[in-house]
């Protein structure tokens, strides 16, 4: 599969270029940037033959089978629609867009065009998250009562740009991290949050957008999910707890970009560490996407998954802004 990277981004350079090349016959033949100089510098650093600041130039190349979109969030919608119109398969970064209407629009366009469209919710590709989901699905912890997701990180210096000061580009911890929590909760619990209460604030980094948020989501089963997201916590580390009538799962350090962390299960029989597969999260995301584009199965996270995670994040922000509990609006996609 021949790819064009749309966005000369950190994530493309750190993880996705290698993940594409880890696939059999995975080639990157274009990088597209808003700046020709940035495209050239990215291409030189990553060995990519063609560069452009004109998206259409790359999309008109018939050799391109698929695009990976990792520009800032406000650009995803237009870039995805252009790629879909050109008949390319699309792997798009989260959040799919800055509004629910735009996200639904992208997924509808991909369906109508018959191209594969997937969301890069890499965490559901982690062996750790899959192991936790399996423990929940097989009834090991009984009926789930609650879930706590701790995603309070210390934003690295080199990412302290638009995420902290640019609401138009989709900055803020809620579009950045709460969307991931929403996808993890949906994946692990197998149900979609119904409504949310939330608070957000600025705790040292944000300038014009929130850098911290806490929210509580009510699930259809009656389970509650507590989601804590922040850019400002140097030592908190990430984690997930799932508590059920027959057991508790306590996982630490499992919400990063690499296959790390620990999972501890406690039941009436005592405590045990749960082993899990340590494959690359991004290689797995791309592998599932390539397979799906070839007609074999579904991508790890579909476009609809991206719509739903965005819907949760938007409801969290509105609940925090208004101080009023929000029923989550999934469009008509719930």
Cα atoms found within 13 Å of the Cα of residue 103, Cβ hemisphere only: 30
Which whole-number Å values give the CA distances from 140 to 104, 137, 153, 188, 243, in the listed order?
36, 8, 30, 13, 11
74 to each of 109, 168, 216, 286, how far by Cα in Å? 17, 7, 27, 23
314 belongs to the binding site for ligand NDP (CB under 6 A) = no
Query: Strand pairing partners for 51?
Result: 31
Give the range of 67-75, 105-113, 209-217, 231-239 binding ligand NDP by CB under 6 A: 67-75
Q: Check residue 93 for interaction with ligand NDP (CB under 6 A).
A: yes
Q: How far is the CB of 258 from ligand NDP (least distance, A)?
A: 11
Interface with ligand NDP: number of residues (CB under 6 A): 21
Measured CA angle at 321 (ends 320, 323), to 5 deg: 60
Q: Shortest Cβ contact with ligand NDP: which residue?
A: 34
What residues numbered 21-40 form the site for ligand NDP, per CB under 6 A?
A: 33-35, 38
The only residue of 1, 9, 276, 289 in contact with ligand NDP, by rule CB under 6 A: 9
Task: Figure out which of the listed residues 73, 79, 215, 238 binds ligand NDP, where binding follows CB under 6 A.
Answer: 73
Q: Assess 249 for contact with ligand NDP (CB under 6 A).
A: no
Q: Judged by CB under 6 A, does residue 94 bind ligand NDP?
A: yes
Burial pattern 87-109, b for ≥16 Cβ within 10 A else e, equals: ebbbbbbbbbbbebebbbbbbbb
Q: How far is the CB of 267 from ligand NDP (least distance, A)?
A: 32
Q: Which segment (69-77, 242-250, 266-274, 313-321) binds ligand NDP by CB under 6 A?
A: 69-77
Among 52, 71, 227, 326, binds ligand NDP (CB under 6 A): 71
Bridge partners of 200, per DSSP, are 213
Burial class (CB in 10 A: 0-12, 13-18, 19+), 27: middle
Residue window 167-186: x/- pattern of binding to ligand NDP, with contact defined by CB under 6 A:
---------x----------
Q: Does 252 bind ligand NDP (CB under 6 A)?
A: no
**Per-residue contact track with ligand NDP, 106 to 135, x per CB under 6 A?**
--------------x-x-------------
Show the CA angle centred on residue 262, arms to residues 312 and 94, nearest 5°: 30
Among 87, 139, 142, 161, binds ligand NDP (CB under 6 A): 161
Indicate the pairing of strand 247-252 with strand 262-267.
antiparallel
- Joined together, the tokens standing for residue 29 give 């033949």
Beta strands in the chain (DSSP E): 2-6, 27-32, 50-52, 66-69, 89-92, 117-119, 144-152, 195-201, 212-218, 224-230, 238-244, 247-252, 262-267, 270-273, 326-327
243 in contact with ligand NDP (CB under 6 A):
no
Q: Using CA atoms, how far apart are residues 178 and 94, in angstroms rounded to an integer? A: 11
Q: What character string, x for contact with ligand NDP (CB under 6 A) and - otherwise, covers 262-281? A: --------------------
Interacting residue with ligand NDP among 45, 49, 85, 159 (CB under 6 A): 159
Least Cβ distance, residue 109 to ligand NDP (angstroms): 19
Q: Minimal distance in Å, beta carbon 197 to ligand NDP?
A: 25
Return d(Cα 118, Cα 107) in angstroms, integer: 9
- Decide: 69 and 93 in contact? Cβ < 8 Å: yes
- By the criterion CB under 6 A, which residues form the site for ligand NDP? 7-11, 33-35, 38, 70-73, 93-94, 120, 122, 159, 161, 176, 257
């Amino acid at each position: 599969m021949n790819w064009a990277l749309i966005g000369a981004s950190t994530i493309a350079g750190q993880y996705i270029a290698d993940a594409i090349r880890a696939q059999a016959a995975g080639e990157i033949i274009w990088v597209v940037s808003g700046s020709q100089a940035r495209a050239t510098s990215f291409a030189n650093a990553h060995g990519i033959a063609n560069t452009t600041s004109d998206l259409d130039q790359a999309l008109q190349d018939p050799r391109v089978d698929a695009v990976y979109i990792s520009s800032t969030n406000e650009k995803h919608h237009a870039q995805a629609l252009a790629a879909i119109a050109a008949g390319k398969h699309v792997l798009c970064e989260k959040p799919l867009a800055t509004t629910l209407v735009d996200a639904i629009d992208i997924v509808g366009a991909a369906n109508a065009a018959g191209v594969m469209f997937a969301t890069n919710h890499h965490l559901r590709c982690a062996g750790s998250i899959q192991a936790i989901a399996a423990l929940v699905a097989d009834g090991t912890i009984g009926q789930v009562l609650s879930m706590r997701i701790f995603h309070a990180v210390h934003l690295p210096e080199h990412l302290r740009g638009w995420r902290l000061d640019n609401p138009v580009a989709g900055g803020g911890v809620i579009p950045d991290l709460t969307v991931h929590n929403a996808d993890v909760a949906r994946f692990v619990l197998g149900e979609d949050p119904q409504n949310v209460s939330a608070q957000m604030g600025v705790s040292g980094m944000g300038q014009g957008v929130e850098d911290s948020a806490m929210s509580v989501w009510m699930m259809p089963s009656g389970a509650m999910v507590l989601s804590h997201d922040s850019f400002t916590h140097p030592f908190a580390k990430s984690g997930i707890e799932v508590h059920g009538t027959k057991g508790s799962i306590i996982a630490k350090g499992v919400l990063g970009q690499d296959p790390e962390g620990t999972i501890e299960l406690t039941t009436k029989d005592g405590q045990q560490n749960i082993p899990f597969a340590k494959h690359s999260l991004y290689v797995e995301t791309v592998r599932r996407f390539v397979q799906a584009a070839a007609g074999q199965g579904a991508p790890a996270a579909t476009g609809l998954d991206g719509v739903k995670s965005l819907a949760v994040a938007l409801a969290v922000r509105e609940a925090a802004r208004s101080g009023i509990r929000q029923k989550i609006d999934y469009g008509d996609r719930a």
